[in-house]
Amino acid sequence: MKTTQPFILLFISSLINLFLITSLASAQTCVGGGPLQISSVPSTENFITQVVNVSNVINTHTFSEVIAFDDFREENLGFSIGITMTDFSDTSSGTTFDLSNLKIISDVNNTITEVDCDDSTGITLSNLVLTAFSDGDNDGTSDNMNLVSGDVRSRIGQYSIQPQIELTIPGGSRSGTYRSTFTFSII
Q: What mean pLDDT is predicted for residues 124-146? A: 97
Would residue 146 count as lying in a domain? yes
The number of folded domains in the chain is: 1
pLDDT at 47 over 90: no
Would residue 47 count as lying in a domain? yes
Tell me which residue of 97, 95, 85, 82 sits closest to 141, measured CA to CA.
85
Would residue 36 count as lying in a domain? yes
Which domain range does residue 130 map to?
Answer: 6-186
Would residue 1 count as lying in a domain? no
pLDDT digits (tens, 9 = 90+) for 155-184: 999 999 999 999 998 888 888 999 999 999
pLDDT of residue 16: 52
Would residue 106 count as lying in a domain? yes
pLDDT at 18 over 90: no
Would residue 94 count as lying in a domain? yes
Query: pLDDT class for 5, splitting at 50, 70, 90?
Result: very low
Stretch among 14-28, 117-131, 171-185 having the lowest mean pLDDT: 14-28
Most confident segment among 12-16, 28-32, 100-104: 100-104
Would residue 90 count as lying in a domain? yes
Q: What mean pLDDT is predicted for residues 30-44? A: 93
